[in-house]
Structure formats: C-alpha cells, structure tokens
C-alpha cells in the first residue's frame, strides 16, 4: 500500500550523521504523525560511506529506502524522488533534523485536508523559535527580503529545509523548475506563489547545526544568481508561470 507521506532526506557525504538521524526520525515520527509514511534517503553521489550506510538502513528498517543518484545536487535529488514517488504528500527535511519533528503534522495536515497546495516551515514567521549564529541569521533575513522584493512574493522563509507538497501539485510544478541545486527551494516556491497556489507556513522550532558543511556564503551567491535568472525570465523570456497555469488547470487546486 502506498504511504500517505514520503519524507525525503537528501544527503551528500553524511556518513557521520545519517544513521543517527534516520533512526531518530523513524522512531519519533509515529508519535506525532498518525499516518503511514516512508523515509527515502536520496544519496547525491556521495564519495564517502554514505551510500553503504543508506543501503544498510534500507535493508534493516521497514519503511526506509535508499536511492543513489550519480549527480550531486539537492534539487535534482528531490525532483527525481518526488516525481517517482507514489505517496499522496511529498516532503523533505535536512539530515541534521534541525526542525522539531512535532512540526511534521502541522506541515502535512493542510495538504491532506485540501486546504493548501504546498507547506513550508518558517524560521522567520511569528511564533518561530530559532537558535543559530548571527552570521547565518543576518544572511537568511537579508536573502528573504531580497526574494520578496525582487520576485514579488510574500512567503517568509524560502530556504528552510522543511517543506511538503501534494503529489499532484508537484507533478505540475517540477517540470518548470530549472535549478537542481540550492536555489531549487526558492524557484519552486516563487513559481507556486505567482501561479496562485496556496502556500501554508508553519512557524518552527529550529536549532542550527554548528557542524553543517554547507557554505552559506557560496550558497547565497548562487541563490542571488537564481533570482536574477527568474527576474529575466519573467520580464523578457519564456515565462514559466504562464505554462504552469496551463498545467494547473488540469488538477484541483
């Protein structure tokens, strides 16, 4: 039987944290999410022991599977797994599980009820409680201000690694998302918002992983280039929102 929820954990060289995080997620999620779920480890061409660990977990733990991709990129991994999944709702979270897992049910419930099309965790919404360094806080806030101003959207936190989407909406959206790396999140949300999809925000309790391997400055620069590309497409080139609205007309949103 197909699961209600497919939780994807994209990973690259995460041999240190992967097993602990997957076992914790599998143990704790049933206490807060009363529906069938699957955990999918999406290995983005890791070069350490991540693949072996993921395969072992998939063989040992019911409801856990492992998929190996030969090309690095979080957006590419999510696109592949979400496109092929048979679950009603598709989600992803970062391997460090920085977001309190009690937020999973509030994240997914509006999608199951039909109230919303996408759902995102927000570290910047009223009610969120966040523990992280000043540098990451400033960069995150500045980036989201730029996104809202440059692309005319209202959601508060584009890059929180805690999102969910209805599978039918994902199938309509994903062909129009070009980025396969870190800007994937922002592009997905911008296209959704500008096409009139309903985005639900969940204030989250979030604790920064001080050992994260993500280069936040490099990632921010990549994201700024993505913003510039989207602005150009909206103004001068092929507008993906126009095509997307045509696809959305074929599903119930």
178 CB contacts (<8 Å, ≥6 apart)? 187, 229
Q: Give which of 6, 130, 52 is closest to 144, Cα–Cα.
A: 130
- Residue 155: per-residue pLDDT: 96
Residue 161 included in any domain: yes
Containing H/E element for 66? strand 64-69
State whether the Cα torsion 214-218-220-223 is positive or negative: negative
User: What CATH number does residue 80 fall under?
Assistant: 3.90.550.10
Q: Please tell me the total count of domains within the chain.
A: 1
Residue 105 included in any domain: yes
- Residue 72: per-residue pLDDT: 92
Mean pLDDT of the 42-54 span: 97
Interval 28-47: pLDDT, tens: 999 999 999 999 999 999 99
Interval 57-106: pLDDT, tens: 999 999 999 999 999 999 999 999 999 999 999 999 999 999 999 999 99
Alpha helices (runs of H) in the chain, residue ranges in sequence order: 18-32, 50-60, 74-84, 104-113, 134-151, 167-173, 184-194, 216-235, 240-248
- Which residues form the domain of 223? 5-248
Residue 90 included in any domain: yes
Interval 99-139: pLDDT, tens: 999 999 999 999 999 999 999 999 999 999 999 888 888 98
Residue 50 included in any domain: yes
Q: Would you state the structure tokens that stand for residue 140, as one six-digit string?
A: 């995150």
Residue 253 included in any domain: no
Residue 53 included in any domain: yes
Residues noted as catalytic:
185
Residue 243 included in any domain: yes
């Amino acid at each position: 039987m197909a699961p209600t929820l497919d939780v994807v954990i994209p990973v690259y060289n995460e041999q240190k944290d992967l097993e602990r995080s997957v076992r914790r997620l599998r143990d704790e999620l049933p206490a807060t999410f009363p529906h069938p779920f699957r955990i999918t480890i999406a290995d983005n061409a890791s070069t350490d022991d991540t693949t072996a660990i993921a395969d072992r977990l998939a063989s040992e733990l019911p409801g856990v599977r492992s998929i190996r991709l030969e090309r690095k990129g979080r957006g590419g991994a999510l696109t592949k797994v979400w496109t092929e999944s048979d679950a009603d709702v598709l989600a992803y979270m970062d391997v460090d599980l920085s977001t309190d897992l009690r937020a999973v049910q509030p994240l997914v419930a509006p999608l199951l009820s039909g109230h919303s099309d996408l759902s995102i965790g927000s570290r910047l919404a009223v009610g969120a409680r966040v523990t992280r360094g000043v540098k990451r806080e400033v960069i995150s806030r500045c980036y989201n201000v730029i996104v809202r101003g440059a692309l005319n959207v209202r959601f508060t936190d584009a890059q929180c690694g805690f999102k969910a989407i209805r599978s039918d909406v994902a199938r309509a959206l994903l062909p129009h998302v070009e980025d396969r790396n870190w800007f994937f999140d922002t592009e997905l949300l911008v296209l959704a918002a500008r096409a009139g999809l309903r985005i639900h925000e969940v204030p989250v309790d979030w604790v920064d992983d001080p050992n994260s391997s993500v280069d936040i400055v490099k990632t921010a620069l990549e994201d700024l280039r993505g913003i510039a590309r989207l602005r150009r497409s909206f103004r001068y080139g092929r507008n993906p929102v126009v095509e997307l609205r045509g696809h959305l007309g074929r599903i119930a949103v």
